[in-house]
Amino acid sequence: MGNGTESDDGRNPDDDERTSDVGQAGHDGRTGHDGQARDVGTQAGDARRPGYDGTGPGAITPDGCAVEMWSLLPVRDEPDVIGAAVPAGASLLELGCGVGRVTHPLADRGFAVTAVDESAEMLARVRPDVRTVRSPIERLDLGERFDVVLLGSFLVHAGDPAVRQGLLETCRRHVAEDGCVLVQREGEDWHRTVPRERRLGDGWGRILSATPVGDGVNSVLAEYEFPGGRWTQTFLARPLSTAAFEQALAEAGLTVERYLTADRTWVLARPSTEPPEGPPNR
């Protein structure tokens, strides 16, 4: 699951004992004595989400991501940013892990990673030494707490506020009281500076358009070109000012502690000591 040119990879995970299929929140998804999650709940469907689509070779996930294309993307500075912000060897819940582009470097650095994605095809690319869970993020309830919860790939900009709230509540539900949540957000001008492109390893990623579709939401069209393949993704994204972003976290019981990068796209938040704020009166 991912948006834009920066986000995130066979075996069938349904036949893989390390992968759990988790449905509605509230099912008991606690780990067994062997440390692997059990299959619980209803399976996450592969139907395309409204407003999301993708084209190109190979499988396309519910949010329009092309599995083959994400497998070609190089890892950037994400592991360095994360590694510098959290304790060595921490337990880490990665929400929207995709093919494992960031998962694998984090596991190699000694983090105990649990990788979550709603796509079986994506999870099939994650190494077998990493624990995986198949579920829509907003419905995840493992009954566990982690030192670090990671919500990358700009997922916090989901077009539907209810989905965004569900994503952030999943973060709050799974973070230890003395732990932290790392969130990757868009730059505040990203929807205005289009079209734009950047080099991605052997290929190119381009944001071709960001078209308003009402209620502050844009339909974004991205294109990716690598040797031997071209893909597109259409997705819905809601631009958020710093104030709106911090308010959204507060409504889920999270408080921004600091911004980790100069462009303010990586954020460290902590569980709030006060009750979650309700949405402002409109």
| Tens-digit pLDDT profile for residues 216-245 | 999 999 999 999 899 999 999 999 999 999
158, 171 contact by CB (below 8 A): no
Each residue's pLDDT tens digit, 148-164:
999 999 999 999 999 99
Q: Mean pLDDT throughout 17-45?
A: 38
User: Residue 9: what pLDDT?
Assistant: 34
| CA distance linking residue 150 with residue 271, whole number of Å | 14
Q: What is the pLDDT of residue 188?
A: 85
C-beta atoms surrounding 110 within 10 Å: 11
Q: Looking at residue 21, what is its pLDDT?
A: 61
Asked whether the beta carbons of 46 and 62 are under 8 A apart, the reply is yes
* % residues pLDDT > 90 (the chain): 78
**What tokens appear for 87 in the block?**
């304790």
d(CA 242, CA 246): 6
Q: What does the pLDDT read at residue 49?
A: 87
Which residue is it, tokens 């979550």? 116
pLDDT at 193 > cutoff 70: yes
Q: Which of 276, 246, 270, 273 is closest to 176 using CA atoms?
A: 270
